[in-house]
Amino acid sequence: MTDFAATREMFHLPDGVIYLDGNSLGPLPRAAPDRVHEMMTAEWGEMLITAWNRAGWVAAPARIGDRIARLIGAAPGTVVMGDTLSVKVYQALAAALEMQPDRRVILSDTGNFPSDLYVAEGLIEALGRGHRLKRVAPEEVADHIDDTVAATLLTEVDYRTGRRHDMAALTRRAHEAGALAIWDLAHSAGALPVDLAGTDADFAVGCTYKFLNSGPGGPAFIYIRPDLADRARPALAGWLGHEAPFAFDPDYRPGAGIARMRVGTPPILQLAALDAALDIWEGVDMGDLRRRSIALAELFRDEVARSCPGLELASPADPAARGSQISFRHPEGYAVMQALIARGVIGDFRAPDILRFGLTPLYTSEDDIRAAVATLARILDERLWDDAAYRVRNAVT
């Protein structure tokens, strides 16, 4: 059994704060500052440029990619780190469309994260080949996968409500129709068990600063199904994705397999922080994580139902149909969340009316849940949210 009391001790959690926003930004792993400091002083400071070889910097994107592969059901050598999630979405989608020259539809859903949709629209405009982005209700995706669809572009767990797509079923349906399946794991990786190999997913991408706790702006990852990797052409081709980066060949030749999806110089400082964060996962069983996540969410839902009658559940009632978060609707959701944060319970708000709470078993306890809901109940009961200061929108909500 995973010892979640032990994993909680591996994070710096500020006194007097209940942190329920790890689905936006994970807290600081205690080991990360020393790891980054060591990288800066012993490696960058003493080794200088020789650290690319001596400290293994150049191999870090593949090495750390293998560490993430274990958490998302992927084989070693199929995941590589680097760049941002939007860049990786662009690479995956561009490669998928090139593999499907006779199809023009990218199928997504109306609940998908807007950035993924922006990337798709920008790529369509850049290609100028008559592609179109088709968005349907999440529950209608399977019905719209047909022989016009080049690729599905879906986020497994909805960023607002936590609603979860059936990755296995939708990937199978895509393949039956001759389409490719691209999965965004931003709210899945580190939140619940993922089985990319078992579901036969074609492409997957994800960020690391949420449930994987790499810190703000942490690097993204990309996965390609092994039998497709050498066919995937990276539309954003950079020197470190070249077959021989230090040959400085003026003509691009893609590297073998997933290595071709590397673009530019990797963010070594942030990879060092991520490497430290991934140490926490060494003793974690993903099945234990999922069971604990569901138990925390059910406790949260029951406590809200008992003491917060003004809130409407926005997440699916069925625990199996949601990720590791729970969301509620309130007409004054933004002000309610600001009042909650002011009292030391940190969640976040998503327009137009959703209060969102990340449930991260690595450091969230039952006592945290009970205390958070008690504070929320008091705010609603006494209308403490009804203050002009709580209605002032911050740049980041």
Antiparallel, parallel or unpaired: β 149-155 and 180-184:
parallel
| Alpha carbons 18 and 222: distance in angstroms, whole number | 32
> Can 334 be counted among the known catalytic residues?
no
Q: Could you say which of 11, 19, 90, 209 is catalytic?
A: 209
CA nearest to 336, candidates 304, 379, 374 = 379
Per the annotation, the verdict on 113 as an active-site residue is: yes
329 in active site: no
From the list 19, 90, 113, 357, the catalytic residue is: 113
| Residue 158 annotated to the active site | no
Nearest CA to 365 among 40, 8, 78?
8
Of these residues, 184, 202, 275, 368, which one is catalytic?
A: 184
Picking from 230, 240, 199, 223, the residue whose alpha carbon sits closest to that of residue 79 is 223
> What b/e sequence results for 227-247 when a residue is b if at least 16 CB atoms lie within 10 Å of its CB, and e otherwise?
eebeebebbebbbbbbeeeee
Closest by alpha carbon to 267, among 226, 209, 333? 209
Q: Is 267 left (phi over 0), alpha (psi -120 to 50) or beta?
A: beta
Annotated catalytic residue 88: no
- For residues 37 and 50, give the distance between their C-alpha atoms in angstroms, rounded to a whole number: 18
Rounded CA gap, 302 and 287, in Å?
Answer: 23
Annotated active-site residue in 210, 262, 292, 301 = 210
Q: Per the structure block, which two tokens stand in for 244?
A: 């021989």
| Residue 155 bridge partners (DSSP) | 184
Catalytic: which of 262, 356, 357, 368? 356
Active site residues: 113, 184, 209-210, 356
